[in-house]
């Protein structure tokens, strides 16, 4: 007999609930209603996060200790916040010294590409990090510079466009050349743009519609870096060069769109920058999760809105400009190219900018603002020119930076590019390749970092000493990598409903409360042959991506991948609990994960608390042995198998099926078909995981409890060689603990599925429950 189609089986299950007389498990309230609890779970987490984002705007003041006694005291008081900002945007690598900008010419094309009566234009590059250079244009005035300025264009503007050497930007907006016409020495860097041309590896035939910025963001985020941080480093390398000059003139930065964001971050990080001007960016960040993912910064909103970042710039000067910015989305998906995260980009409105400026005024008294803090905007929304580079903005920027009142925004004729038809794509390709190469080369160094961060701190002299040595590492993993939610604020209020009845066990749907709108949900299978006073082991059986508890425990259907392994275990006499995890709903849950990231949280943050509550409830049941609760998960459930038991010690055992891997490599490599670099699972990336916890290190937090890996030779989630490589570290650890029998790996002929042969034996052995004859 063929198994029932999944939809039909689920329909029969739901229809049969009233046929089972709507029974509740003794000691619980009856669960009522027919709503989709999985969808409700994701929507509830979304509501919770929306409230927390609003709350964060008020609470982050607690993380700041402003001291207004003097400018020096103020700067010192915010330096810890400045350092934390540098970490989350990935400004952590030591820059190379910049002895001078390199002219990038050839015998056929000199670096000097334009000459005007006021300045000359050169093509230049400068060292930033090993193998990474900034590239762009230098506008050198004829006389001694009155100021040094980094003029940062939007990501889709080339330096030539901002200088007037190429079409695409209205003359009024070409603020780089206006500054040069007023005697400033100006460097215009190239930014990584929003095309997707090189977001691919043609050698393996994989490509994506991720923008170049998202492509670099993904791999760098996992390694504790960021495309934002890389480009801030390029800006600050120019500041290094400017500041190294004897009797250096004052330094300013001015940027528009993506360049405005970089100007804001650069001014906040580097106190050598006297004046920062931001156009088309400054405003509220509550909807950061809706912006392109390459702007996603781990935990930003817990400590920083734009107003707080501005407070790192004062008492130096700041100019904000409200300017129009076109709405931008990712390149469209098309055959052979897909997987980009959704995101919409637009400039904050005048109302939004003024509101955020108002928040800043509440943080820093006007009497303390030694440098000017001001903003400019068009006189009306339908004004012909919407920026960047309003006349008042340019005049104020030059006046406040140089101290001269003679500055003018009047423009001369634009320069003429002697190169003729210059193709900026070759430069863009160099910039893209340098950052991807640099990030890929972080992999071997990350292994050494993890060795220092984890393995050197583990004491394997005894099990007791080992467990003590993991305490701080476990706390770090939960708080800094996963993101720690506060303890649940609501009582459990367990509600149950009989959903299955078989000759060997009964199944109950279970709902447990955690916070307003946030709850745990799953299905409990209780053997029928429990004796009075008997306590049995529990196996928590977890579904994968887009799965449901019914996939795991439905006795009428062996769904693909799962082989109804929860029902099989219940037939063997185990108590089984199959939780619903919130990775369901496709883009809906992924956007919720993005929203969580802004608060230093991810979906696992909620899953930890959900499983904690499940464990709390299970241990309260009179027939559960609280010392024998194991975890067994497939696919995304396997990801949970690595993370949640690593945090929650009450899980006495963990089995990872269809997921164990050299996880960091899988996430960032460009050289394997199965890499997440080419897929739509943009929520997969965890900030700085590469330097802290690969799967072997997570397993180290599970040890000395039993741990097993189940791996099908043909499972496309990984490669046997890489799985074995990573697992060898786990095997070595258990051997050093003199507990080699507590870990195992099963390779079987098959794919992405529960095989159950060796894993079931592992469960029977370590949970001390007799296997069927």
The whole-number pLDDT of residue 407 equals 66
CA dist 658 and 388 (Å) reads 52
Contacting residues for 706 by C-beta, under 8 A, at least 6 apart: 652, 653, 654, 742, 743, 762, 766
The whole-number pLDDT of residue 3 equals 39
Q: What is the pLDDT of residues 396-443, one digit of tens each?
A: 999 999 987 666 766 688 999 999 889 999 999 999 999 999 999 999
Q: Which class for 229: exposed (0-12), middle (13-18), buried (19 or more C-beta within 10 A)?
A: buried
Q: Are 174 and 216 in contact (CB under 8 A)?
A: no
Distance (Å) of CA 260 to CA 148, 201, 231, 617: 17, 31, 12, 51
Peptide bond into 299 cis (omega under 30): no
User: For the chain, what is the mean pLDDT?
Assistant: 94
pLDDT along the chain (773 residues), means of 10: 41 43 91 96 98 96 95 96 98 97 91 96 98 98 96 97 95 94 97 97 97 98 98 98 93 97 98 97 96 97 98 95 80 93 91 93 84 74 67 92 75 88 95 98 95 97 98 98 98 97 97 98 98 97 96 85 96 98 96 98 98 98 98 98 98 98 97 96 97 98 98 97 98 98 98 97 98 89
Strand partners, 185: 148
Distance (Å) of CA 414 to CA 164, 399, 411, 479: 5, 23, 8, 54
CA dist 590 and 579 (Å) reads 19
Q: Are 459 and 465 in contact (CB under 8 A)?
A: yes
Q: Are 241 and 250 in contact (CB under 8 A)?
A: no
Report residue 419 as tokens.
């190169």
| Residue 105 main-chain phi, psi, to 5 deg | -120, 175
Q: Are 175 and 157 in contact (CB under 8 A)?
A: no
Contacting residues for 449 by C-beta, under 8 A, at least 6 apart: 691, 692
- Helix (H) / strand (E) element for 262: namely helix 258-269
Contacting residues for 339 by C-beta, under 8 A, at least 6 apart: 208, 209, 210, 333, 678, 679, 680, 682
DSSP 8-state class, residue 481: I
Contacting residues for 421 by C-beta, under 8 A, at least 6 apart: none
CB neighbours of residue 35 within 10 Å: 8
**Secondary structure (3-state) at 426:** helix
Q: What is the pLDDT of residues 638-684, one digit of tens each?
A: 999 999 999 999 999 999 999 999 999 999 999 999 999 999 999 99
Q: What is the pTM of this model?
A: 0.95
Angle at 491 between CA 489 and CA 492, to 5 degrees: 120
The whole-number pLDDT of residue 2 equals 37
Dihedral of CA atoms 50, 56, 57, 59 in degrees, nearest 10, equals 150
The whole-number pLDDT of residue 18 equals 41
CA dist 555 and 506 (Å) reads 11
Q: Residue 306: name the closest of 348, 271, 270 by CA.
A: 348
The whole-number pLDDT of residue 326 equals 72
First to last CA, the chain: 26
Report residue 507 as tokens.
């199944």
């Amino acid at each position: 007999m063929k198994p029932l189609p999944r939809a039909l089986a689920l329909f029969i299950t739901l229809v049969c609930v009233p046929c089972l007389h709507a029974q509740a498990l003794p000691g619980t309230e009856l669960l009522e209603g027919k709503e989709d609890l999985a969808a409700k779970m994701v929507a509830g987490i979304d509501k919770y996060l929306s409230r927390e984002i609003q709350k964060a705007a008020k609470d982050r003041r607690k993380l700041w200790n402003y001291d207004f006694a003097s400018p020096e005291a103020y700067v010192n008081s915010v330096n810890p916040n400045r350092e934390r900002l540098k970490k989350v945007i990935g400004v952590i690598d030591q820059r190379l010294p910049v002895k001078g900008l390199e002219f990038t010419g050839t015998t056929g094309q000199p670096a000097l590409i334009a000459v005007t009566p006021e300045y000359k234009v050169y093509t230049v590059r400068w060292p930033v990090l090993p193998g990474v250079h900034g590239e762009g244009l230098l506008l050198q005035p004829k006389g001694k510079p009155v100021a040094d300025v980094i003029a940062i264009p939007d990501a889709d503007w080339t330096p030539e466009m901002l200088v007037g050497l190429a079409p695409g930007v209205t003359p009024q907006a070409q603020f780089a050349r206006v500054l040069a016409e007023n005697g400033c020495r100006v460097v215009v860097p190239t930014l990584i743009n929003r095309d997707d041309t090189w977001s691919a590896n043609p050698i393996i035939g994989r490509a994506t519609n991720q923008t170049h910025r998202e492509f670099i963001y993904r791999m760098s985020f996992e390694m504790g870096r960021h495309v934002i941080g890389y480009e801030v480093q390029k800006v600050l390398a120019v500041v290094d060069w400017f500041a190294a000059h004897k009797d250096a003139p004052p330094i300013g930065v001015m940027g528009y769109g993506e360049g405005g964001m970089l100007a804001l971050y650069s001014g906040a990080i580097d106190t050598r920058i006297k004046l920062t001007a931001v156009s088309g960016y400054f405003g509220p960040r509550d909807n950061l999760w809706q912006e392109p993912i390459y702007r996603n910064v781990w935990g930003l909103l817990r400590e920083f809105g734009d107003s707080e970042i501005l407070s790192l710039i004062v008492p130096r000067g700041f100019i904000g400009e409200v300017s129009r910015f076109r709405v931008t989305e990712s390149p469209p998906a098309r055959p052979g190219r897909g997987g980009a995260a959704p995101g919409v980009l637009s400039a904050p409105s005048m109302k939004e900018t003024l509101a955020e400026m108002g928040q800043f005024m509440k943080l820093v008294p006007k009497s303390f603002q030694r440098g000017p803090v001001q903003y400019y905007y068009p006189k009306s929304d339908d004004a012909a020119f919407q920026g960047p580079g309003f006349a008042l903005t340019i005049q104020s920027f030059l006046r406040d930076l140089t101290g001269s009142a003679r500055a003018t925004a009047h423009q001369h004729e634009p320069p003429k590019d002697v190169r003729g038809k210059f193709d900026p794509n070759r430069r863009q390709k160099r910039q893209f390749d340098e950052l991807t190469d640099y990030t890929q080369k972080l992999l071997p160094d990350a292994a050494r970092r993890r060795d220092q961060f984890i393995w050197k701190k583990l004491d394997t002299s005894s099990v007791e000493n080992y467990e003590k040595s993991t305490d701080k590492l476990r706390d770090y993993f939960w708080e800094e990598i996963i993101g720690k939610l506060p303890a649940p604020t609501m009582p459990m209020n367990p509600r149950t409903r009989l959903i299955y009845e078989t000759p060997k066990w009964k199944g109950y749907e279970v709902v447990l409360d955690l916070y307003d709108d946030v709850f745990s949900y799953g299905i409990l299978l209780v053997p029928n042959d429990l004796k009075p006073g008997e306590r049995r082991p529990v196996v928590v059986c977890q579904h994968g991506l887009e799965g449901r508890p019914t996939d795991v425990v439905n006795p009428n259907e062996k769904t693909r991948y799962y082989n109804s392994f929860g029902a099989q275990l219940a037939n063997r006499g185990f108590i089984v609990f199959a939780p619903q995890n919130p990775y369901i709903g496709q883009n809906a849950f992924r956007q919720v994960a993005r929203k969580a990231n802004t608060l230093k949280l991810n979906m696992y943050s909620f899953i930890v608390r959900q499983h904690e509550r499940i464990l709390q409830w299970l241990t309260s049941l009179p027939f559960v042995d609280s010392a024998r609760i194991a975890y067994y998960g497939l696919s995304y459930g396997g990801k949970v198998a690595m993370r949640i038991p690593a945090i929650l010690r009450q899980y006495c055992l963990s089995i990872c099926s269809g997921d164990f891997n050299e996880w960091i490599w899988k996430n960032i490599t460009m050289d394997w078909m199965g890499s997440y670099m080419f897929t739509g699972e943009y929520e997969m990336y965890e900030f700085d995981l590469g330097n802290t916890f690969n799967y072997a290190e997570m397993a180290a937090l599970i040890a000395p409890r039993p741990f097993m890996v189940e791996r099908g030779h043909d499972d496309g989630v990984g490669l046997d060689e890489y799985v074995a490589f990573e697992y060898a570290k786990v095997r070595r650890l258990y051997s050093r603990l003199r507990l080699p029998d507590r870990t195992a790996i099963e390779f079987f002929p098959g794919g992405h599925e529960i095989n159950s042969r060796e894993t079931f034996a592992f469960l029977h052995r370590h949970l001390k429950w007799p296997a069927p004859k």
